[in-house]
Structure 1
């Protein structure tokens, strides 16, 4: 009955999310349903398990959601995001429409812009380019997803996206962990995704299918907007990456931070100081990026700064509460007796050798269950992170590999149909799951999952970090 309750609650949560109902409301409802099937009391489960775990996630990761959302809105309001996307699209031209859209989304995402903002920024130019090249619009969501939801979100070392920040806390690593593994993963995902999308384009063209007749959410190009120079627009993105690198690699390690933060009133455990410092680095870098984004186009930002900050702050609340609710849900599930069967199976994967296959499977499965890369990874590492670290130490696996495998794996099954980013992207472009989910599924789910397990196999043979 316990396992049945877990399965039933998961199915219902995914169904309600797919139907557009808020997981902030339904995550605790279905967590308690699963608890009932396990014979647990309702109110103690809600107040002593669900809420504390939700609150702990907010405590650790809210600054990233808040500053990331504000940074994205400032990049949008100052015209930097649009300027970068437009420059790439114009440079490559219609013949390379798919590549242009992927690179536009990738650069913005790697620079720290919110995935949702990237979709809004890239879509108008992507639609125009696809129309000019007579490529079916139904391929556009999968193209944007490849650029924004995959290799620049999880794989390329240094990306400031939350999916690359979460493992730092558990493995005392930084954003640049396992650069070889991450770079190879990025190349494989990018190459595989481009091959698929170009193949789909050729299929459509062979059948004589063009852009199609669309009326919903078709963008209107507005000429004469005051956009900054695209090279200048890159400065905020570069500043986030450079400042994070300098602070994490050179500044903080030279200071005796553990000596004072481990004392009252902070009382940070010395074992967690490195992860805390890495979090500080990203927070500071995002503040620097926001400041530079405001300064590169002051005329446009005048009068719009409050709008950008307020919109980003409000948007971050919905995003972080959605994810935190899913984390609360997952932590209720992991306390149930039926979850032990699942946990034992996941931990048993590759038990005699490396922890990497088990970690990858656990993270991507839980990301799929919650419909959230960051939520699923947080639950997986909260539950098994210490065991994976001990396991890695025992078999002489670099903790940086644990970081990178968790990050890349989180960007696999997270994009199931009930994923919030998928639903938002389809709404932005005015298409449905039936129209475009197949390509989203291949580019942002199948290829990343195949990539992470392929590289784990190769790493076990060659031994790279």
Structure 2
């Protein structure tokens, strides 16, 4: 009955999230359903397990969500995100419309802008070039998803997206962990995704299907809108990457803080100092990027800086509370006696080999279940991170591989129909699941499969 209660709670959370209920409210409710069916006490489980774990996640990751959201909003309000998208789309033109949209999204997300801001910024120009090239509009969401939700989110080394930063705390790694694995995976995902979309485009056009008419939410934009130059717009993105890289690879490795950071009042765990300092590097990088984004169009930002900061802050609150609630949910489930058998089954995958396969399966399952890449990965690493590290040490597996596999796996099955990013993307483009989700699901399968392909290749080629 207790094990059934766990699966009932998971299923209920998926159903309620898909129906549009707030995860902030429903995660503790569903967790307490599992607690009730397991015979444990409800209120202590809420106040002593759920809330402390929610608070701990907020403590560690709140700066990333806050600064990332403000950075994205500053890029949006200054017109820098639009300027980059417009320049790339205009340069490549209708002949390479799909590639233009993918590259626009990829550059913006790799520079640290949130997936949602990217979708809003790119959509007007993407719709325009698709219409000009007479490509079916139903292929627009999958094209944006390929550029924004896949390789630049968690595979390509150095991406400052939250899905690539979460593992740093658990494995004492940096954003550039396992670069060879990440680059090869990026090539597979990008080439495979482009080939699929081009095939779908040619098939549709051969049947006489074009962009279509009567679509909802068709974009309206001013061609003469005053936007910053391409170079000025690109500077904030580049600054995030360069500042983070220099701090993580050059400055912080030569700064020994253990002698005082492990003492009062900081009381940092010595084994976690590297991961924490790498977190600091990303915080500083996002802060510098936000300042430069505001300076990219001073005339406009003089008026809209308060709006960018306020809306960015408000947006970050909901995002991190959603993920924190999912982490609290996962920790309540982890505390249940019945979970031990489920944990043993997950940990038992490939028990005689490296922990990579077990980690990939667990993160995929939880990310798919919660509909959140960051939420699913956080739950798994919070539950099993220390065990995976010990397992990796026993088998000679690099913590960098644990980092990269966890990141890539989080962006696999998370894009099921109830995923917030998928729902938002379809709303932005004015399309429905029935019209466009089939193609998005292919990218989900491609991304998930690539993670397991890399584990297989690494098992005998031994690259990192």
User: TM-score when scaled to structure 1?
Assistant: 0.98
Deviation digits for residues 362-409 of structure 1, max 9, x if unmatched?
111111111111111111111111111111111111111111111111
Q: Offset of 1:439 from its aligned partner?
A: 1.3
Aligned to 1:108: 108
Aligned to 1:275: 275
Aligned to 2:345: 345
Q: Offset of 1:341 from its aligned partner?
A: 2.2
Aligned to 1:155: 155
Distance 1:158 1:146 in 2: 18
Deviation digits for residues 68-122 of structure 1, max 9, x if unmatched?
0000000011111000001110111112111111111110000000111001001
SS at match of 1:390: helix
Query: Does the CA-based 8 Å contact 2:27-2:329 persist in structure 1?
Result: yes
Distance 2:207 2:10 in 1: 40
Query: Does the CA-based 8 Å contact 2:158-2:175 persist in structure 1?
Result: yes
Moved more, 248-257 or 208-217: 208-217
Structure 2 matches for 1:179-218, cutoff 5 A? 179-218=179-218
Distance 1:222 1:213 in 2: 21
Say whether 1:146 aligns with 2:174. Answer: no
Aligned to 1:325: 325
Distance 2:226 2:267 in 1: 49
Aligned to 2:460: 461
Aligned to 1:307: 307
SS at match of 2:176: coil
Aligned to 2:449: 450
Distance 1:206 1:258 in 2: 65
Aligned to 1:259: 259
SS at match of 1:256: coil
Say whether 1:170 aligns with 2:170. Answer: yes
Distance 1:51 1:417 in 2: 28
SS at match of 2:422: helix
Aligned to 1:374: 374
SS at match of 1:160: coil
Query: Does the CA-based 8 Å contact 1:73-1:117 persist in structure 2?
Result: yes
Aligned to 2:40: 40
- Any gaps of 5 or more consecutive residues in structure 2? none
Distance 2:432 2:441 in 1: 13
SS at match of 1:89: helix
Deviation digits for residues 261-312 of structure 1, max 9, x if unmatched?
1121111111111011001000001110011111121111111100100010
Say whether 1:363 aligns with 2:360. Answer: no
Query: Does the CA-based 8 Å contact 2:364-2:376 persist in structure 1?
Result: yes
SS at match of 2:303: coil
User: TM-score when scaled to structure 2?
Assistant: 0.98
Q: Offset of 1:334 from its aligned partner?
A: 1.8
Distance 1:273 1:214 in 2: 56
Query: Does the CA-based 8 Å contact 2:248-2:281 persist in structure 1?
Result: yes
Structure 2 matches for 1:100-139, cutoff 5 A? 100-139=100-139
Distance 1:324 1:151 in 2: 24
Query: Does the CA-based 8 Å contact 1:330-1:370 persist in structure 2?
Result: no
Distance 2:238 2:168 in 1: 21
Distance 1:236 1:249 in 2: 20
Query: Does the CA-based 8 Å contact 1:105-1:119 persist in structure 2?
Result: yes
SS at match of 1:379: helix
Structure 2 matches for 1:56-135, cutoff 5 A? 56-135=56-135
Q: Offset of 1:339 from its aligned partner?
A: 2.2
Q: Offset of 1:463 from its aligned partner?
A: 0.6
Moved more, 67-76 or 142-151: 142-151
SS at match of 2:163: helix
Distance 2:222 2:5 in 1: 52
Moved more, 211-220 or 450-459: 211-220
Aligned to 1:220: 220
Q: Offset of 1:171 from its aligned partner?
A: 0.8
Deviation digits for residues 171-193 of structure 1, max 9, x if unmatched?
11100110000111111111111
